[in-house]
Structure 1
C-alpha cells in the first residue's frame, strides 16, 4: 500500500503528464508537494519498488514511464462511510455540511 505522499506524487505525475504532455521536473515536484528533494526522490524510489513507475535513466524525469496511474484496488485503504444524521429540519443542510 502506498503512503499518502507516494500516492500524491503518483497522481501529480499522472495528471501533469496528461495535461502538459511532459513529466514535471524534480524541482517542480518539490514545489507542488512542498517537500524537499530527498523526500521526492524517496517517494519516486518507493514507486519504482512497488512497480508503479519505471525510471531507468534517473538523470531526467523525461525518462520516466508510468506503469500504473492509480493505486491498485486491493491496496487502497478502507474508507468508512457514515450516514448523515436524519433530521427533518431544513437548517441542517446549512449548519452541518
Structure 2
C-alpha cells in the first residue's frame, strides 16, 4: 500500500542521512590517506624504479582498516587508524625501497 511505501521511503531517507554522517566523519582519514598515496606516487620522480600502484596502496589501506585498534569513539578510531596506517605505509615503503 502507499502508506507502507511512504514509511519505507522515510526509513530509507533516515538511513541515507546516517550513512552520509558516518562517511563525513571519516573524511579527515581519507584526506590523510590521499596525501600518503600521492607522496608515494611522487617517489617515481626521484627514480622511476620507485613506483607504487594504486591497487597496492588500497591493499595497504584495507589492511590498516582491519588491523588498527577499533574504538566506539569516532575520534579515537580515526586517531588509531591514522597512526596505524601512517606507520604501516612507512614500514612497507622502507621495505620496498631497500629490497
Q: TM-score, normalised by structure 2?
A: 0.25
Structure in which a larger fraction of residues adopt helix: 2
Q: TM-score, normalised by structure 1?
A: 0.26
Structure in which a larger fraction of residues adopt strand: 1
